[in-house]
Chain A
Amino acid sequence: MTLTASRRPAASRPSKASRRAEGQPWRGPTRPYDLVKEFVIATVVVGMLVVALAALFGSPDEKALTLQGWAKAAPADFVTTTVTELDGSSPTAGYGPPYNHAAGGQQLGPLPLARWIGGYRIPVDTAADFVLNPLSQLPATPPLTAALQQWRAASSTQQQNWATAYDTAIGKAPDSDPAKAAAGDYGPVPALANAELSLAQAGGLDGALGRNAGFYASDYTLSLLFLQDGSYLADTSATQHLSGNQWGMMNETGSFPGQAWLWLYTFWYQISPFNHSGNGDALVWAVMAVLVLAFTFVPFLPGIRSLPRRLGVHRLIWRDWYSRNT
């Protein structure tokens, strides 16, 4: 059978009449098509495929890190991080919205969206939340009580001077090991940092950092921020090829496929200016917002909406139709 329905080459501009007709109910030849049967077969086939893949490859489940494990495996990093929470030099302490006022947050051009939309809804005081409050919950011992009292009685300038001096001394110590830091006037900071280390090594800090903890806890913001302020989390992730410059979030631990569908979002972080701009995250979000809008409204974008006709892949998809109708 040879039909002659098509009157013009598919790459040329369609007439208004032709475009109008595309929206009308189909009046041409049809063929039997069993939708329900197709759906049932698809469901069974996909189900079998899923079971086979799950049985063959399983799924990853790398155990979560704990603050206890960090304190035991990398005590120097743990103590150093604790000191940076006290002197306000940790990433979280200097983050800005939504955690604190230490920085203005990222901007999109002149728009401080981080402040306008987010504000400071999740207040975090790193010294109090990560160190002083957990230590205050410990059974009182004379050295710890004295250290806490000395810290609280001091002015904020004095607190800052002690913590910064100790932080600097650790940085100069061999292997940045707090135990090898030179002697100096650090006030109660070494005692507080060591008490925090002991608390964490005993497993007490993991529970103590649960926000709104009470009896039930489901918010791990404080634990994760504290964990991220150290090097332990980043070092572990690098061994699992999860760092930002390794296409980070779209990967999965081990050799399992991760969120491959995030490739475009992750891609921007690999190139300039996104990978070095102070507003890199906001810029990536802006680019992705534009792309998502464009993707959603492709039918209305001149040029893009005409692309399929010019590319000609449709001739492959509808080859039977075109072979009979041209």
Chain B
Amino acid sequence: MTAPPVKPEPRSWTALVRGRAVAALPPDKLLPDTQPVYVASWIYVFGVLTIAALLAVLASGGILALEGPAWYHTSVVGHFANSLHLWSVELFFFFMVVHLWGKFFMAAWRGKRALTWITGALAFVGSVGTAFTGYLVQTNFDSQWISTQAKDGLNSVGFGAWFNVMNTGQMLLWHVLLLPLVLGVLVVLHVLLVRRHGVVPPFDAGDGSAANEAIDAVASR
């Protein structure tokens, strides 16, 4: 004998969240296997390249974190991991800037997509801050110079008292925990918003109905 199915509690928070999440992003919208025909340019690849480079940044940073901030000074393997981290960051920014310009030229905020642009812009700014703290915790001459120079800008508006770039321990924790956490949330939010609202259509394409009608008209001749 099998137990009768339990009816979900109508006021269950879990059911409410699941219902809203599925309504906002049903599986075929979250992971669609088709795209509008206009999604046919190399510029679209730079979004996914940025995410791929971010994964490389996280992976190489994770390797460095295994042995601590000073490891790469004395280990060949550590130095190579540091090189992986440097170049993945350089590629990450390159891809992200191309992606950003592409989206600007498309005016990708059109059609209720402003929040998608805003989360992307904040992710860019957050990435600059995260990379900056990375340069501060290299524990070499470069970090000595950058920290002593950067403190003046931060102190001039009072931030340096709270975000002390010469406190290596503080900067290390910002670099490996706080800023990546914020950046991770922004990136996930950005990608979910892209999936929810879809890729912005070309100017004057509307929702594509007219194109469909035109196709039908051509087919019926």
Report which A residues bind B (CB closer than 8 A): 1-8, 10, 14, 17-19, 21-36, 38-39, 42-43, 45-47, 49-51, 53-55, 57-65, 95, 97-98, 105-106, 108, 113-122, 211, 218-221, 224-225, 227-228, 233, 236-237, 240, 242, 244, 248-249, 252-253, 256-262, 279, 281-282, 284-286, 292, 295-300, 305, 308-309, 311, 313-314, 317-322, 325
Contacts and interface: CB of A to CB of B under 8 A. Distances in A.
Interface size class of B (residues with CB under 8 A): 35 or more
B215 A119 contact: no
A42 B60 CA distance: 17
Interface stretch (B2-10, B45-53, B176-184): B45-53
Given A108-B157, A242-B145, A261 B93 contact: yes
Contacts of B158: 97-98, 113-119
A219 B164 CA distance: 9
B157 A295 contact: no
A323 B48 CA distance: 26
Interface in B179-221: 197-198, 200-212, 214-215, 218
Interface in B18-65: 31-41, 43, 45, 48-49, 51-53, 55-56, 60
Contact of A300 (B82, B114, B197): B114
Given A23-B112, A35-B31, A117-B157, 17 more contacts: A1-B218, A3-B218, A29-B37, A29-B215, A54-B86, A62-B141, A105-B155, A113-B156, A117-B159, A218-B167, A219-B170, A221-B166, A248-B145, A261-B97, A279-B156, A314-B203, A321-B37
Given A5-B214, A39-B48, A227-B148, A314 B88 contact: no
B174 interface: no
A64 B36 CA distance: 54
A262 B53 CA distance: 19
Contacts of A259: 128, 131-132, 135
A143 B38 CA distance: 83
Contacts of A227: 144, 148
Interface of B: 31-41, 43, 45, 48-49, 51-53, 55-56, 60, 72-73, 79-80, 82-88, 90-91, 93, 97, 102, 104-107, 109-114, 117-118, 121-122, 125, 127-128, 131-132, 135, 138-150, 152-153, 155-162, 164, 166-170, 172, 197-198, 200-212, 214-215, 218
Given A6-B204, A248-B149, A62 B142 contact: yes
A54 B152 contact: no
A313 B101 CA distance: 10
A224 B147 contact: yes
B157 to A, nearest CB: 5
Contacts of B147: 224
The B contact surface, by secondary structure, is helix
B53 A114 contact: no
A50 B48 CA distance: 15
Contacts of A22: 110-111, 200-201, 205-207
A219 B168 contact: yes
Interface centre among A5, A7, A248 (most CB of B within 10 A): A5
A57 B207 contact: no
B80 A54 contact: yes
A245 to B, nearest CB: 12
B204 A8 contact: yes
15 contacts: A7-B210, A21-B206, A26-B208, A28-B209, A28-B210, A29-B215, A31-B35, A31-B39, A33-B39, A45-B52, A46-B56, A64-B141, A98-B155, A117-B157, A281-B156
Contacts of A252: 142
Contact of A58 (B79, B90, B197): B79
Contacts of A308: 104-107
A249 B146 contact: yes
Contacts of B149: 244, 248-249
B36 to A, nearest CB: 5
A21 B51 CA distance: 29
Contact of A42 (B37, B52, B118): B52
Contacts of B33: 32-35
B205 A59 contact: no
Contacts of A282: 156-157
A298 B85 CA distance: 32
